[in-house]
């Protein structure tokens, strides 16, 4: 009885000794969990998945500056929509929507400066975030020099990634503490 208990305690001690906390600067965005081996349930398969395991899927995280403490975070589908002609991250209810407009449906790999207007030739993108889940329309949009979005291509997927974008409030419901800038990050891969 004592031997298994001592063995378990020893294994636990070894595990804790070798566990290393993530460095403060590490990017902690999660991937899609592994699943069985087919293209719809195994997004980590190199044959069917874009970078970081995404398959027409992405994640959005944002926080409104100031005292409101309003945060958003959701994993969702990522698609290109003809209207509003942008790559769209939308919650299942469609009440929260983040868009990235490159001025084209097929942006070339590279770094795009985020601004008020999209222009593929000048490598400029426009980003917005809308929320109508509380019964009023809250909105934030990018202005010039709001950050950058990186587009890469792997396994036939367009991989879109941005961190720390600064968006200005534009929604009619943005009042009081919600009339503050938003810091937005997003990531995902979409099959062309």
Q: What is the mean pLDDT of residues 29-45?
A: 54
Please give the C-alpha separations between residue 80 and each of 68, 94, 129, 145, in angstroms, as whole numbers.
32, 15, 16, 24
* pLDDT exceeds cutoff 90 at 160: yes
Report the pLDDT value the prediction gives residue 82, as an integer from 0 to 100: 87
* pTM of the predicted model as reported, rounded to 2 decimal places: 0.77
Coil vs helix vs strand at 57:
strand
| CA 130 to centroid of chain Cα atoms | 15
Tokens of 103: 């001025």
Tokens of 88: 């769209």
Cα 192 to chain centroid distance, Å, stands at 18
Give the other-Cβ count within 10 Å of 45's Cβ.
16
User: Are the beta carbons of 79 and 88 closer than 8 angstroms?
Assistant: yes
Q: pLDDT category, 23, cuts 50, 70, 90?
A: very low
HEC assignment per residue over 58-116: EEEEEEECCCCCCEEEEEEEEEEECCCCEEEEECCCCCEEEEEECCCCCCCCEEEEECC
Most confident range, picked from 33-37, 71-75, 112-116: 112-116
């Amino acid at each position: 009885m004592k031997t298994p208990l001592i063995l378990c305690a020893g294994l636990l001690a070894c595990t804790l000794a070798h566990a290393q906390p993530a460095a403060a600067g590490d990017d902690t965005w999660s991937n899609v969990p592994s699943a069985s081996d087919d293209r719809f349930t195994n997004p980590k398969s190199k044959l069917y998945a874009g970078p970081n395991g995404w398959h027409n899927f992405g994640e959005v995280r944002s926080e409104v500056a100031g005292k409101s403490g309003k945060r958003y975070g959701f994993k969702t589908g990522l698609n290109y929509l003809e209207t509003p002609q942008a790559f769209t991250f939308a919650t299942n209810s469609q009440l929260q929507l983040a868009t990235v407009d490159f001025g084209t449906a097929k942006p070339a790999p590279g770094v795009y400066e985020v601004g008020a207007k999209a222009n593929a030739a000048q490598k400029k993108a426009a980003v917005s975030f809308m929320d109508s889940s509380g019964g009023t329309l809250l909105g934030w949009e990018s202005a010039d020099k709001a950050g950058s979005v990186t587009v890469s291509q792997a396994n036939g997927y367009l991989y879109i990634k941005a961190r720390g974008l600064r968006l200005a409030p534009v929604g009619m419901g943005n009042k009081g503490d919600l009339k503050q800038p938003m810091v937005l990050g997003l990531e995902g891969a979409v099959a062309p």
